[in-house]
Structure 1
Amino acid sequence: MVIDGLDVSDDGTGPVDHIALLLVAAAGGDQQSFARLYDAMSSRVFGLILRVLVDRSQSEEVLQEVFLEVWQSAGRFAPNRGQGRSWILTIAHRRAVDRVRASQASTERDRRAGARELAAVSEGVAEGVELRMEARRVTDALKLLPQPQREAVVLSYYGGYSQSEIAAMVGAPLGTVKSRMRDGLSRLRDQLGVTA
């Protein structure tokens, strides 16, 4: 028998490439030949893929992809350029390596994304701790102020009251409240080591 200019008949001079015959027939749309090709090659192709990927479920997926590609591209197989078995195994190896590379790239992307998230969380935690420590320092410094100064500062900064409202609330003249706030803030700056 001659296929694409290549004599593949069994004339006693060499083995017949049955896989090549099945590929050529499958290229012509012969589904039975493709089924026989699958039966003849699937276990060997799966073994190759499994050796590359190690993961059985991914290997099964790649096996399907390989035979889909074989069905779709069987017309590109040239029997005079190599054996059918080698052509199919080359496709399988290429697909398996592509899957490994894609998996590694995905893992690397996930690792980088995880590192960014961890850095953001760590930064947020560090910022939160720093704010709590600073708030604690301010609270401790406020406790050291004389009561009238502490009251004026707390009502202004934590209560949101204006100096006039504070004066009315504590029953002190506006000038006195202004002095208490100015003196209280000055002492706070000194205790916290803040320069004006």
Structure 2
Amino acid sequence: MSWLQPDWVIDTRRAEFRWRRLRRAPRIAMDIHQTDGSFWPAFEPHHYLKLPRMIAANYYVGFVDGAPVAHLAVSTRPGLVEGRACRLVVMPEWQGAGLGLRFLNEVCALWRRGVNRYDKPMPMLFHTSHPGLAAALRRDPLWAQVSAILYAESKERSMKTLAAARARKGLKPAGTGYGGHFRAVQGFRYVE
């Protein structure tokens, strides 16, 4: 079928895979708005962790043709020493279109230049467990990898920390903790 022009070809006889990008992907314009966090419930089902919305965070939503397609929350570390971007979610129907990294880069660039509610330039951190996103961040010259925890955290250590915090408040230990499961977390710093 000479009229067929696929983007990729698998030759089963030679056991080869080959990309054939014949057409450029269309450029997708995205408008980024700072919001109040009210969009998080629409994005939360698509995030890999089930967490409530962040308190005291700055929320950003990317829109394509008026539809919300990307979400990011940014908080600061104590002392306003750096920002931490998290809860990056791209709606499933938009994943793979290249919007997520562009969106993350733009929001981090704003914070790096001091376009934030503190009017203060801040270094930006971002952590992810997504292997594809981690690989993309490693390839992007705007990012440098600063950490990688590729094994499970100690649930026992977490339980002790939580028990000590509750004891300081005069409360009984809750008997729960976090960790003990495998979640490879890789950390990156925006270095523009």
Q: Please say whether Structure 1 and Structure 2 have the same fold, judged by a TM-score greater than 0.5.
A: no
State which structure, 1 or 2, has the greater radius of gyration over its C-alpha atoms: 1
Query: Which structure has more RCO (C-alpha within 8 Å, separation ≥ 6)?
Result: 1
Normalized per residue, which structure has more strand? 2
State the TM-score, normalized to the length of structure 2: 0.18
**Normalized against structure 1, the TM-score is what?**
0.17
